[in-house]
Structure 1
Amino acid sequence: MRPPGARGHGGRPERSTGRAGPSPRRTGIARSPLLHEGEESPDGQPAAAEPLTPEHIKPRPLGHRGTSLGLNLVYTHLNRVIKARGLEALCVRPGHGGPSVLANSWLDGGYRDTYPDVTWDAQGLAQLFHQFSFPGGVPSHVAPEVPGSIHEGGGLGYALAHAHGAAFDLLSRLPEPELDALLRGYGHEPIHVGGDDPLQVHRALAAAFDEALDRVDLVQRTAPEEGVPQRPRRPVIVLRTPKGWTGPKEVDGEPVEGTWRAHQVPRAGVRENPAHLARAVGDVAEVVPARGLFDADGRPSADVLACVPSGTRRLGATP
C-alpha cells in the first residue's frame, strides 16, 4: 500500500471510531470465501441458489485456496483503513490468489466497471463462477486484465518485482527474533501479527494497520515543518497465519490446514466422492452464513458492503 499523496477532500480524513477492529462479518470477511468457493467448484450456479449436487461441480476444480483465504483477510482490513482514512492504495499480492482478487473486485464493483456483462446480481455471479479457470474465460491466477492487478503469473516473485519492500512470504521459516532483526536491518519497524484464532487475529491486524498508518501519517505531517534529522523507519506488518486457514483442518484423515495440502483445492474429488460433497456443503454452511449476505436479486447486501470504499479508492478500481 502506498501512502496517500493527499489526505482526501478537505484535509485529514476522519478516523474510524472502532480502533479495536470491526465485526468480521460486517467488514465482509465472511463473503469472499463463499465467492471463491463458487469460482473453485460450482459450474455456473451461485452458492445457496439450490442444493449442491455433483452436476454443479466443475470437472477439474482449481483455485489455490491456501493463499486466497489469507488474502481475504488482508483485503478486508485494507478496505477498512482505506475508507476510514481516505487512502489511495494498491494491493500487490501473489498471483496464485486469483479467486480472492476476482471475488473482492466483483464485490466492490471494480470488476463490473471493467466488464459490464458480469453484472452485480445472481446472473453476473453465475458468469463469474463459470468463466473462472475455464476455456475462453479467465485464468486461475491473477493477470493484468483482472481489475486491481498489475502482473501475470502465480509465483510471489512477480509481486515482489512490483512491490519490493512491501510484501514478503519467503522468510516464514525464520524465528520471529531473527526475522525482526533482519527487517530492522532493512530499515523497517516491524509490527508482528499472528495466530490461528480468527477473532483475535482480526483485532490484532486492525490495530496493526492503524498503528502503521499512524506512524506514516506522523512523518508526513511533521517532516515538512520540523525536518527529518535521520531516515525514519518504515513500518512493516509481518502476518503469520496457517496456510489454508479457516479451510478444512483435515481430509480423509490427513492434515490440511497449515500444510502443503492446503495449496490447491483441498477436496478435489467432490464430483465422485459423496462424502467430500457433503462435507463441502457443510463447510460453506459453517464458514459463511449465506442468509443476509445477498438480496433477492443476488446483489451484495448493504451490510456486506459497509466497509467497502467507493469510487477510485476501491482496490478493484486500482490502478
Structure 2
Amino acid sequence: MRTPTTETSRRYRRACDYLAAAMIYLRDNVLLREPLRPEHLKPRLLGHWGTCPGITFVYCGLNGLVRRTGQRTLLVTGPGHGAPAVHANLWLEGTHSAIDPGMTLTDLVKGFSWPGGFPSHLSPEVPGVVHEGGELGYALATAFGAALDDPDLLVACIVGDGEAETGPTAASWHANKFLDPETCGAVLPVLHLNGAKISSPTIYATMSDDELTDYFRGAGWSPHIVDVERTDDPDLVFAETLDAAHKDIKQRRPMILLRSPKGWGLPKEAGGGTFHAHQVPLSADQLPEIEAWLRSYRPEELFHDDGRPMDDLLDLLPSEELRLGRVPQANGGRLRRDLPLPELEKFAIDVPEPGGATASATGTTGSWLAELMRATEQRRDFRIMCPDELESNKLGAVLDATGRAFTWPLTQYSEHMAQDGRVLEVLSEHLCQGWLQGYLLTGRHGLFPCYEAFASIVDGMVNQYAKFLKMAGEVPWRAPVASLNYLLTSEGWRQEHNGYSHQGPGFINNLLTKKSSVTRVYLPPDANTLLVTMRHCLATTNRINLVVAGKNPAPQWLDLAEAERHCRAGAGVWEWASHPEPDVVLACAGGIPTVETVAAAWLLRRHAPELRVRVVNVVDLLTLSTPDKHPHGMSAEEFTACFGEDLPVVFAFHGYPSAVHEVLHGRPDPSRFHVHGYLEEGTTTTPFDLLVSNRMSRFDLAADAVGRTPGWSSRGGGIVQELLEKREELKAYAYREGEDSPEITEWEWSA
C-alpha cells in the first residue's frame, strides 16, 4: 500500500464533503454525471451542513492515527446532526457495504432523510455509533463511560461548540478526574470551534486562544490548538497534533481545540463561514448555485461511475478491523457477558410471619451488590454511578468491596477513595447517566442509584436513550446490551425531613410514555422482593428498568420463596390479609403504600369486622396493563383473580395517581379503581402528617374502602367518622410533639 500524502488527505476530505452535501440535496444523479435538473433534488431538503466538514476532518485525522499506531479507537460524535459526514466516511471505508452489501451509492445518498432510509442525525442504524447527539450535551460523558475498564481503547469525542454551552458538557470536562490510567482507556476530546449555533455566535468560539487554554488547563486538560485557517497544510498539522496527543494520552490528558470555518468549503456568497451555513444553506430554487457548489468538489476525480472511491483514497484507511465504523465497542452487545449474580439465600431476610421482621430494603440489597462487586473484581465489567448518595441510600456495604473512583490529589479528609474504584460518585445526575450509557453500550453492566426526586433531572437523557434502545432493537446486526437499571430510593414518602422540594415521584410517569418493548417499572414492597427484583433487572438486556424502594427499616412481608413467586407473578393477593369472598379490594404498589394498606386492612378488621377485604400487592406496575399494550400485562383471568369483576378497588400508589389510571386504560370498568397517591402536598413535617396531607394514610384508605363498598355508604358513616377523627387526633399529636405517635411508629400487623 502506498504511503498517503496530505494531498491524498485533502482528496479524501473532498470526497466525503461532496457526499455529505449530496446527501442533503440529491435524490438522483448523485455523481453529477449529467447536468443538474430540479427533479434530481429531494423534495424536502434536510440536514446540517455546517458541522460536516469539521467532522470529516477529524475522522480523516483519526484514520491516519489509527493507521500509524494501530490504536483501537471509538469515535463519539456530539454534533449528531452532522450525520452526512459520518455516512460519507463509512461509505469510503467500506463499512456500509459490509453491513448491507446491496447498498449502492445512490441508495445511500437518496436514503439520507428519506422515508424508509436513514434519519437526519446519527442513530443506532448507523455503524460505529453509541451516541445519537439528538439532544446536545451528553457526548463527552458517554465517551468517558465507554473508556472505563477498557485500558486499550481510545475514545475520541467531537464536542460541538454549541453543545459545549450545555450544563451536562460543562460538568463532563471534570470527568478526567475519575478515569484511572491503569485500568481504563483514554478520552481525547476535540472541541470543534466553528463559530456559530443556528443563528448566533457560540460562547467558546468567541473566547481567545489564551482564554480557552487557561479555562481548560484549570479543568485539568492539556489543550492543543489547531486552526485550519492559520496553516497551509491543516492535515499535516492535525496529524502531528494527534501524534503528540496520543504519545502522552494517559499522563497529560490532552485535548484539541479545533478552529475551522462554519460550513468549510461552502462559498462565502452562499453563507460559508457564517451561521447561515448551519443547516441547508441553499434553497431548491437556487439550482445553479447548488450545482456550482457541488461541482467545485470535482466528484469525477474522486469516484468511479459505480460509486467506488478512487484507489488512492483507500490508502488513508486503517486495516479493516480497526476502521472507526467497525470497532467492536460500537456494537457492545457482542462483548457483553452475563454477570455472575450471587445467590440470594445468604442475604435474604428471615420472615417467620408477615410483618414478623424489620429491615432496610436497600441496606439488604447493598450487601448483595457488594458481593457482586467482589465477583466482578477481575472482570471489571460492573459499576455503580451515583450522585454522592450511596451511603445516604444505605448501599454503603458496596464500599467494603470497592472504593470511590478518583485520580486527582486529595488535600482533605476522605474515606473509601481509590484510583481504581468502581463506584463513581459526583453531584451531577447528567454525568452519572452519560457514564452509564457509555459503559452499557460498550458491553458492560451497571446500576444508577439516585434520590427519587432528582432522577427527573435526566428525563431528557432517558428519553433519548429509550429511543436509542427502541431503534437498536430493530437493527438486525446490533447485539443486545445490558439494561440500564435505576434504583430510586430516598423516596418522596420519607423525604419529610428534607421537605417539599425533595418529594417527586414523576420519573415513573416519564417512563410510562416510552415503548413497552423498552421500559419496566418495579415497586418491591420489602427487602426480599427488592433482592429478587434487582437480580432479575441485572440479568436483562435492552431495557430501562426502574426500581423504587425504601431505605428505612420497615416491616417485612414475604420470605424469599414467597418473594420469588410474587415477583414472577408481578402482582398477587396476600391471602394472609384477605377474606376469600371480598366486598372490596385494598390494592397497593410501593413500600410505604403497602404498609399503609396492610394497616388499613388491620383497622377495618377492628372497626368494620363484617366488611370483607382483599389485599392485593403489585410489584410490577405494568402487569396492570392489558397484554396487548405491554408484554407484562396480566391476562383477563389473572386480572380478575386479583381484582374481581366488579369489586370497588381502593389503590394506594407510590407515585402520582395518574400513572395507575394510565396503565389501567383498556381494562373493563377502570372507573371502579380509586387511586390514592402523591398529590403535590408536602413540607418538612412527620411521615404520618405527609401521608395525611396527601390522603394516603391508613385511615384515609380504610375510610374510602367503607364509603365505596355497596351497602356500606349509610351504615358505615359512623365508622368513617371514627376513622377520620382518629386520623386528626394523631395528626394533632405530631403537631404538638414534633414526632409521630407510637400508635403509628410501633404499629405491627396481627390477624
Equivalent of 1:209 in 242, 246, 257: 242
Distance 1:211 1:47 in 2: 38
Q: Within the alignment, does 1:145 sit opposite 2:178 as a pair? A: no
Equivalent of 1:46 in 15, 20, 30: 30
Distance 1:156 1:112 in 2: 29
Q: Within the alignment, does 1:172 sit opposite 2:205 as a pair? A: yes
Distance 1:107 1:140 in 2: 19
Distance 1:249 1:74 in 2: 23
Q: Within the alignment, does 1:306 sit opposite 2:286 as a pair? A: no
Distance 1:151 1:258 in 2: 27
Q: Where do 1:115-264 residues align within 5 Å?
A: 115-118=100-103, 124-163=104-143, 166-168=157-159, 169=161, 170=164, 171-196=204-229, 199-216=232-249, 232-251=251-270, 256-264=271-279
Q: Secondary structure at the match of 1:307?
A: coil
Q: For the Cα contact (< 8 Å) 1:45–1:56, is it kept in 2?
A: yes
Distance 2:314 2:223 in 1: 31
Distance 1:54 1:104 in 2: 27
Q: Secondary structure at the match of 2:16?
A: helix
Q: Which amino acid aligns with 1:138?
A: F
Q: Where do 1:59-98 residues align within 5 Å?
A: 59-93=43-77, 94-98=79-83
Q: Which amino acid aligns with 1:83?
A: R
Q: Secondary structure at the match of 2:30?
A: coil
TM-score calculated relative to the size of structure 2: 0.35
| Aligned twin of 1:265 | 280
Q: Which amino acid aligns with 2:289?
A: R
Q: Secondary structure at the match of 1:191?
A: strand
- Superposed CA offset, 1:156-205 (max 9, x none): 31323312594432232322212101211222111111143674322321
Q: Within the alignment, does 1:280 sit opposite 2:290 as a pair? A: yes
Q: Secondary structure at the match of 1:23?
A: helix
Distance 1:199 1:104 in 2: 24
Q: Within the alignment, does 1:102 sit opposite 2:94 as a pair? A: no
Q: Which amino acid aligns with 1:311?
A: E
TM-score calculated relative to the size of structure 1: 0.79
Q: Which amino acid aligns with 1:304?
A: L
1:313 to 1:22, Cα distance in 2 relative to 1, 3 A: same
1:191 to 1:198, Cα distance in 2 relative to 1, 3 A: closer
Q: For the Cα contact (< 8 Å) 1:26–1:304, is it kept in 2?
A: no
Distance 1:143 1:132 in 2: 12
Q: Which amino acid aligns with 2:88?
A: A
1:135 to 1:167, Cα distance in 2 relative to 1, 3 A: closer
Q: For the Cα contact (< 8 Å) 2:76–2:143, is it kept in 1?
A: yes
Structure 2 gaps, min length 5:
145-155, 165-203, 331-751
* Larger proportion of strand: 2
Q: Secondary structure at the match of 1:180?
A: helix
Q: Secondary structure at the match of 1:294?
A: coil
1:150 to 1:200, Cα distance in 2 relative to 1, 3 A: same
Distance 2:135 2:237 in 1: 28
The Cα of 1:27 is off from its aligned counterpart by 5.8
Q: Secondary structure at the match of 2:114?
A: coil
Q: For the Cα contact (< 8 Å) 1:191–1:208, is it kept in 2?
A: yes
The Cα of 1:102 is off from its aligned counterpart by 0.9
Q: Which amino acid aligns with 1:96?
A: H
Distance 2:215 2:3 in 1: 34
1:154 to 1:284, Cα distance in 2 relative to 1, 3 A: same
The Cα of 1:68 is off from its aligned counterpart by 0.7
1:198 to 1:289, Cα distance in 2 relative to 1, 3 A: farther
Q: Which structure has the higher relative contact order (CA within 8 Å, separation 6+)?
A: 1
- Superposed CA offset, 1:209-264 (max 9, x none): 12212223xx6xxxxxxxxxxxx32111110112111112123xxxx223221110
Q: Which amino acid aligns with 1:205?
A: F
Structure 1 gaps, min length 5:
1-15, 119-123, 220-231
Give the number of aligned pairs.
273
Distance 1:112 1:57 in 2: 24
1:100 to 1:146, Cα distance in 2 relative to 1, 3 A: same
The Cα of 1:36 is off from its aligned counterpart by 1.2
Distance 2:29 2:140 in 1: 35
Q: Which amino acid aligns with 2:233?
A: Q
Q: For the Cα contact (< 8 Å) 2:224–2:255, is it kept in 1?
A: yes
Q: For the Cα contact (< 8 Å) 1:27–1:76, is it kept in 2?
A: no
Q: For the Cα contact (< 8 Å) 1:65–1:262, is it kept in 2?
A: yes
Q: Secondary structure at the match of 1:90?
A: strand
Distance 1:126 1:265 in 2: 20
Q: Which amino acid aligns with 2:31?
A: A
1:235 to 1:153, Cα distance in 2 relative to 1, 3 A: closer
1:198 to 1:141, Cα distance in 2 relative to 1, 3 A: farther
Q: Which amino acid aligns with 2:322?
A: R
1:17 to 1:52, Cα distance in 2 relative to 1, 3 A: closer
Equivalent of 2:300 in 291, 296, 309: 291
Distance 2:243 2:218 in 1: 23
- Superposed CA offset, 1:138-160 (max 9, x none): 10100122012112243431323
1:195 to 1:181, Cα distance in 2 relative to 1, 3 A: same
Q: Which amino acid aligns with 1:277?
A: L
* Percentage of pairs with the same residue: 40
Q: For the Cα contact (< 8 Å) 2:22–2:294, is it kept in 1?
A: no
Query: Would you identify which runs of 4 or more consecutive aligned residues in structure 1 move more than 3 Å?
Result: 24-27, 153-156, 164-168, 197-200
The Cα of 1:101 is off from its aligned counterpart by 0.8
